[in-house]
Amino acid sequence: MFQLRQLLPSDYPAVISVLNLWWGGRHMTDMLPKLFFHHFHNTSLIMEKEGELVAFLVGFISPACSEEAYIHFVGVHPDYRRQGLAGHLYQRFFDIVSKQGCRTVRCLTSPSNRRSIQFHSRLGFQLIPSRTLLEGIPIHKDYDGPGRDRVLFVKEMD
């Protein structure tokens, strides 16, 4: 029913055209310039149903640390949420990067995104500790610049 394949640079217009829509109108396209498709497509994934884009994951193996992978962006079509598609993409990414020698996967989210924090915890990600806590969640203040606090995740793979 769902087809999972490696992302291609030519998928860029299709993904970018739905991005803000899938995020409920938020302006997200700045976070995903084409360089991510051009240079990281070998570890990134597209999920389709009858040729229609339903989910994607953009991630890469760190050039600075070859045992570490990073998941930058994951999106699921609003009509296909709560079916485990994102979890499936993550698991496939873990397979791809662990076969290439990665031991660790990192990603991050906004402190307000409690659903994302629960999702990553279920997948076995640990929250990286911080002295700053918000309702019990460790927050890394100004991580992505002034006012851009983040929750940081890390998962050690078996």
Q: Which residues are near a copy of itself by CB under 8 A?
A: 13, 16-17, 29-35, 38-43, 60-65, 68, 70, 72, 142-146, 148
- Min dist CB 12 to a copy of itself, Å, is 8
Task: Show Cβ contacts of residue 27 under 8 Å, excluding neighbours closer than 6 positions.
Answer: 20
**Closer residue to a copy of itself in complex, CB, 66/83:** 66
- Min dist CB 60 to a copy of itself, Å, is 5
**Closer residue to a copy of itself in complex, CB, 38/114:** 38
- Min dist CB 42 to a copy of itself, Å, is 4
Q: CA-to-CA distance for 156 and 98, rounded, in angstroms?
A: 10
Angle at CA of residue 99, ends 97 and 102, nearest 5°: 50
- Min dist CB 125 to a copy of itself, Å, is 16
**Closer residue to a copy of itself in complex, CB, 5/34:** 34
Give the burial string for 84-111 (b: 16+ CB within 10 Å, else e).
ebbebbbeebbebbeeeebebbbbbbeb
**Closer residue to a copy of itself in complex, CB, 56/60:** 60
Which sign, positive or negative, has the C-alpha torsion 42, 81, 84, 104? positive
Which sign, positive or negative, has the C-alpha torsion 20, 26, 28, 30? positive
- Min dist CB 16 to a copy of itself, Å, is 5
**Closer residue to a copy of itself in complex, CB, 16/123:** 16
